[in-house]
Amino acid sequence: MSECIFCKIINGEIPSDKVYEDEKVIAFNDINPQAPVHILVIPKEHISSIKEIDENNGDIIKHIHLVINRIAKEKGLDEKGFRIVNNCGEEGGQTVGHLHYHLLGGRQLQWPPG
Ligand code: 5GP
Ligand code: ZN
């Protein structure tokens, strides 16, 4: 049994507020939202971070981006804009070791982040 909390969400061991699912990815609302829309988009395959992406598994990144576009449209973010964030490693602020993209929107976002 995996100890990864996002694998547990994928398996249904931990409940989540799912907004999208297909055979390769799921997307769910972040438990600690930083914007009116804050959704995590993750591959169902356990990939620990963007560092694990290479030529052999890179198709998932394209797929995640297409899913993000679809969700952004569904949430009405495509007109005003949105942000996608991937935190990688300790200094990158990654706290969950399962590849995930944050989709943030619904308010004016500041740049650069802290
Ligand atoms: P990171 O800091 O690794 O880039 O992002 C991890 C994100 O996962 C954080 O925004 C955090 O709020 C979210 N998160 C952590 N545990 C859970 C959980 O059990 N359920 C949900 N929905 N989000 C979680
Ligand atoms: Zn995992």
Q: What is the DSSP letter of 12?
A: T
Report pLDDT for 114: 75
Interval between CA 94 and ligand 1 midpoint (Å) = 9
pTM above 0.90, yes or no: yes
Interval between CA 85 and ligand 1 midpoint (Å) = 13
Q: What is the DSSP letter of 7?
A: H
**CA-derived radius of gyration, the chain:** 14
Find out whether 52 and 13 touch, Cβ atoms under 8 Å.
Answer: no
Residues with CB under 5 A from ligand 2 (ion): 4, 6-7, 46, 98
CATH H superfamily, domain 5-105: HIT-like (3.30.428.10)
Supply the ipTM of this predicted assembly. 0.99
Q: What band does 2 get if pLDDT is binned at 50, 70 and 90?
A: confident
Q: Is the pLDDT of residue 27 over 70?
A: yes
Rounded mean pLDDT, 39-65: 97
Question: DSSP string spanning 48-109?
Answer: -SGGG--TTTTHHHHHHHHHHHHHHHHTT-TTT-EEEE---TTTTT--SSS--EEEEESSPP
Q: Is the pLDDT of residue 1 over 90?
A: no
Site residues for ligand 1, CB cut-off 6 Å: 5, 14, 16, 28, 30-32, 40, 87, 93-96
Report pLDDT for 19: 98
Find out whether 16 and 28 touch, Cβ atoms under 8 Å.
Answer: yes
Phi, psi at residue 7, to the nearest 5°? -65, -35
